[in-house]
């Protein structure tokens, strides 16, 4: 066996081992080890992607000697390798760029535990990307849920505790429904491996009487993952979860965790149920409508916010709606647009959540819009990066968001359904207009000079607004503080190393965004080929 075929399992096992190792390492050692491992894992995923592209095929890795129907398998092809590379890239950027605020948000004695949970989260995320059986998917889905709560609650303030409890309850409900769907599929097919399940389901679907039980199982499973992803109307947990998390955690939760659940759902639809059977179930129509509702209501909710982090969080609910709309459109074009938007949203939302704390830091530690006025002049670097993320979310050409929206429009046209074409075009136009409204309002605010909470010394105001341990992300209700005549200043770096720790990852995410916008053709072709291999 070629060594490259061992990379998926090796990455998962290495991440699990690292989670245990960081528990016994010190604060500084765990951070250095995590950064090194992130870069090493990213290099391995790049090797795996190159191998899959060179061979043009996918492969499975059988875990143990257990035969079907109870076996455990990992599967890797060009699409899985691409997703793994993109997820690891975003995670590495989030860990590196969010380190400054992690030292403020998390008790020093628990930072090594935070990195331990990050390693376990990575293991679960990669397992969802590579799994080829539903049992492994369920096990690591639960691990991903628990680790997500861990990186949220570790801040130990009341708001994060409440958000973590709400997040845990809803996600456990989603996990329970997902498990019930898996049990029903196993009872119907007698298999847990995806390929044998697909073969049995294709045979059973020929009998109309069997479609009821198959639709029930698929519907319950979809609701479970929909709750965990934040599909409308289950998106109400997002603002507190993302808005009160430390920047690294917010980037991981918004950019990666929900995308792992979404990719698992796409794999189940294509590799287990099949597009033909799914069309008979009419689930696509429901997801199409709910996706459009999420796009509109998420954007309307974002407009109503007076807090920049909550605005970005509600924007995430709208972007999840885009992905479900693509799934609802169906066909290779619809799923391609959905997967491409997973990549777009991952790199863009990570950039936004890593940038807003720097705008708040020079605004009295407050994330309220009234205190952010002129913050982009005082934090010029952060202002530019927020501008990039905003342009992408609105859909300005050159950036990834434009390519995503164009792919959704083309997918609707290829579906050859007049209602879908009309609703998709209307939803894209309305959502883009709403996106422009709330991101334009934010950009005007942060680039308008005036007396906000900004004119006080950033470092002094940061301490006064937060107290001893309260983090930037928790500053939505912090007072603006008294104004002074202090001159506008650039981002208050505490050293060149700290500057590079933020700027380099932000530049990488920006470059990824532009690459997805300008060079979407090869990436779209790669995604299409990968999806065809699913069938």
pLDDT value for 468: 31
Measured CA to CA, the distance from residue 361 to residue 89 in angstroms comes to 26
Is the pLDDT assigned to residue 181 strictly greater than 70? Answer: yes
Is the pLDDT assigned to residue 276 strictly greater than 70? Answer: yes
Measured CA to CA, the distance from residue 31 to residue 4 in angstroms comes to 28
The DSSP letter of residue 397 is: T
Residue 483 located in a structural domain: no
pLDDT value for 491: 44
Measured CA to CA, the distance from residue 416 to residue 478 in angstroms comes to 52
User: What would you measure as the largest C-alpha separation in the chain, in angstroms?
Assistant: 77
* CA-to-CA dists, residue 411 to 145, 147, 189, 280, angstroms: 32, 35, 32, 20
Is the pLDDT assigned to residue 471 strictly greater than 70? Answer: no
The tokens of 501 are what? 């720790």
Cβ distance 301 to 242 under 8 Å?
A: no
Residue 484 located in a structural domain: no
Measured CA to CA, the distance from residue 134 to residue 243 in angstroms comes to 32
* CA-to-CA dists, residue 47 to 52, 53, 280, 418, angstroms: 9, 10, 40, 43
Is the pLDDT assigned to residue 469 strictly greater than 70? Answer: no
Measured CA to CA, the distance from residue 299 to residue 468 in angstroms comes to 35
Measured CA to CA, the distance from residue 82 to residue 14 in angstroms comes to 19
391 vs 466, more confident: 391
pLDDT value for 459: 41
Domain count, the chain: 1
Q: What is the mean pLDDT of residues 506-530?
A: 91
Q: Report which of 116, 138, 113 is spatially closest to residue 127, judged by C-alpha positions.
A: 138
Residue 297 located in a structural domain: yes
Cβ distance 76 to 130 under 8 Å?
A: yes
Which residues, listed in sequence order, are joined to residue 133 by a DSSP beta bridge? 193
Least confident of 28-32, 157-161, 262-266, 422-426: 157-161
pLDDT interval class at 149 (50, 70, 90): confident
Cβ distance 502 to 97 under 8 Å?
A: yes
222 vs 167, more confident: 222
Mean pLDDT, the chain, whole residue set: 83
Residue 481 located in a structural domain: no
Measured CA to CA, the distance from residue 235 to residue 298 in angstroms comes to 8
Going by C-beta distance under 8 Å and a sequence separation of 6 or more, which residues neighbour residue 88? 38, 41, 42, 45, 122
Cβ distance 145 to 260 under 8 Å?
A: no
Residue 488 located in a structural domain: no
Q: What is the mean pLDDT of residues 514-525?
A: 91
Give 283-293 pLDDT, tens digit per residue: 888 999 999 99
End-to-end Cα spacing for the chain: 25
Residue 470 located in a structural domain: yes
pLDDT interval class at 408 (50, 70, 90): very high
The tokens of 49 are what? 């992607």
Measured CA to CA, the distance from residue 291 to residue 382 in angstroms comes to 31
Work out whether the CA dihedral 85, 160, 352, 317 comes out positive or negative: positive
Q: Report which of 334, 284, 296, 293 is spatially closest to residue 524, judged by C-alpha positions.
A: 334
Residue 111 located in a structural domain: yes
Least confident of 36-45, 127-136, 321-330, 358-367: 358-367
Measured CA to CA, the distance from residue 94 to residue 89 in angstroms comes to 9
Measured CA to CA, the distance from residue 495 to residue 120 in angstroms comes to 31
Residue 486 located in a structural domain: no
pTM over 0.75: yes
Is the pLDDT assigned to residue 460 strictly greater than 50? Answer: no
Q: Tell me which residue range forms the domain holding 53.
A: 3-476+499-534
pLDDT value for 67: 61
């Amino acid at each position: 066996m070629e060594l490259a075929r061992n990379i998926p399992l090796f990455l998962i096992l290495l991440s699990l081992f690292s989670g245990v190792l960081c528990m016994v390492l010190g604060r500084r050692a765990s951070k250095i080890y995590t950064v090194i491992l992130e870069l090493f894992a990213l290099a391995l995923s790049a090797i795996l992607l190159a191998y899959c592209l060179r061979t043009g095929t996918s492969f499975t890795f059988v875990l143990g000697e257990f035969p079907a129907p109870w076996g455990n398998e990992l599967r890797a092809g060009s699409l899985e390798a691409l997703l793994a590379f993109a997820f690891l890239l975003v995670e590495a950027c989030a860990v590196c760029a969010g380190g400054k605020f992690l030292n403020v948000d998390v008790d020093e004695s628990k930072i090594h535990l935070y990195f331990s949970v990050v390693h376990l989260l990575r293991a679960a995320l990669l397992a969802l990307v590579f799994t080829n059986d539903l049992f492994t998917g369920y096990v690591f889905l639960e691990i991903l849920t628990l680790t997500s709560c861990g990186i949220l609650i570790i801040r130990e303030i009341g708001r994060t505790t409440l958000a973590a409890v709400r997040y845990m309850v809803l996600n456990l409900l989603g996990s329970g429904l997902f498990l019930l769907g898996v049990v029903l599929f196993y009872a119907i097919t007698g298999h847990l491996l995806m390929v044998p399940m697909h073969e049995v389901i294709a045979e059973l679907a020929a009998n109309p009487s069997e479609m009821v039980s198959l639709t029930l199982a698929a519907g319950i499973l979809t609701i479970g993952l929909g709750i965990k992803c934040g599909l409308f109307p289950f998106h109400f947990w997002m603002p507190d979860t993302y808005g009160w998390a430390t920047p690294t955690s917010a980037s991981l939760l918004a950019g990666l965790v929900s995308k792992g659940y979404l990719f698992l759902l796409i794999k189940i639809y294509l590799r287990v149920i099949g597009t033909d059977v799914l069309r008979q179930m009419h689930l696509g129509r429901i997801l199409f409508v709910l996706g459009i509702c999420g796009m509109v209501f998420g954007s309307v909710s974002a407009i109503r916010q007076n807090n920049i982090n909550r605005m970005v969080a509600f924007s995430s609910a709208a972007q999840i709606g885009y992905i479900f709309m693509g799934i609802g459109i169906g066909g290779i074009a619809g799923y391609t647009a959905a997967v491409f938007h997973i990549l777009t949203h991952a790199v863009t939302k990570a950039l936004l959540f890593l940038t807003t704390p720097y705008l708040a830091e020079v605004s009295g530690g407050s994330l309220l819009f009234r205190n952010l006025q002129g913050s982009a002049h005082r934090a010029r670097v952060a202002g530019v990066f927020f501008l990039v993320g905003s342009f992408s979310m609105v859909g300005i050409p050159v950036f990834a968001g434009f390519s995503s929206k164009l792919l959704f429009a083309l997918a609707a046209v290829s579906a050859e359904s007049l209602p879908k074409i009309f609703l998709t075009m209307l939803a894209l136009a309305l959502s883009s207009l709403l996106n422009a409204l709330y991101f334009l309002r934010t950009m005007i605010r942060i680039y308008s000079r005036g007396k906000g909470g900004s004119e006080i010394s950033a470092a002094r105001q940061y301490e006064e607004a937060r107290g001893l341990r309260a983090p930037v992300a928790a500053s939505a209700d912090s007072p603006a503080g008294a104004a002074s005549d202090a001159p506008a200043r650039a981002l208050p770096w505490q050293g060149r190393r700290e500057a590079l720790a933020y700027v380099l990852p932000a530049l990488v995410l920006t470059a990824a965004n532009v690459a997805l916008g300008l060079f979407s053709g090869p990436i779209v072709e790669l995604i299409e080929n990968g999806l065809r291999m699913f069938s």
